[in-house]
Amino acid sequence: MAVERYAANQHATAMRQKRGGDARFEPVEDQAVATESPEQLFEREVTIRTSRKIVWRQFHSEGMVNEYVLESVSADGKSMEFITRKIESLPTGFRARKVYRIVSQQEIVETFWLAPPGKDLELYAEARLNRE
């Protein structure tokens, strides 16, 4: 019995497709070289950690990874603003801001602002989240 179970597990392991095994990646155009040296990156990381800021790492189903830092909370506690510290899936220099605003106990408004390198932030998307 144990031999049969072992053989079945070996077969299942051999036939199992690894996560992302059929993923295909298109070639990426050359991206600009990072403008920060390793020393500057380390210094920024230490500054954020010692300042005790909240860091939020967001993973999207589309493959985007954004790292935000909590920039501000309104005096009434009904609005939070996050600014990107790093966007891994876009060329260097892109910035984003995400704001969550509590409208009522039943509704939250989420706004997302995006800016390409050297440009101002512009409203990209707004979502109204309603509890039923």
Does residue 60 register a pLDDT over 90? no
- CA 67 from chain centre, in angstroms, equals 5
Does residue 127 register a pLDDT over 60? yes
Considering just the CA atoms, what is the radius of gyration of the chain in Å? 22
pLDDT of residue 87: 87
Please tell me the distance from the alpha carbon of residue 81 to that of residue 98, in angstroms, as a whole number: 6
Is the whole-model pTM more than 0.75?
A: no
Q: Which of 6-10, 20-24, 37-41 comes out lowest in average pLDDT?
A: 20-24
Please tell me the distance from the alpha carbon of residue 40 to that of residue 21, in angstroms, as a whole number: 36
pLDDT of residue 85: 87
Please tell me the distance from the alpha carbon of residue 100 to that of residue 83, in angstroms, as a whole number: 12
Does residue 1 register a pLDDT over 70? no
pLDDT of residue 52: 73
The residues spanned by each domain of the chain are 36-130
Residue 10 half-sphere exposure, CB side, CA atoms within 13 Å?
6
pLDDT per position as a tens digit, 80-111: 999 998 888 888 889 999 999 999 999 999 99
Sheet hosting strand 79-87, strand order edge to edge: 55-59, 65-73, 79-87, 95-104, 107-115, 122-130
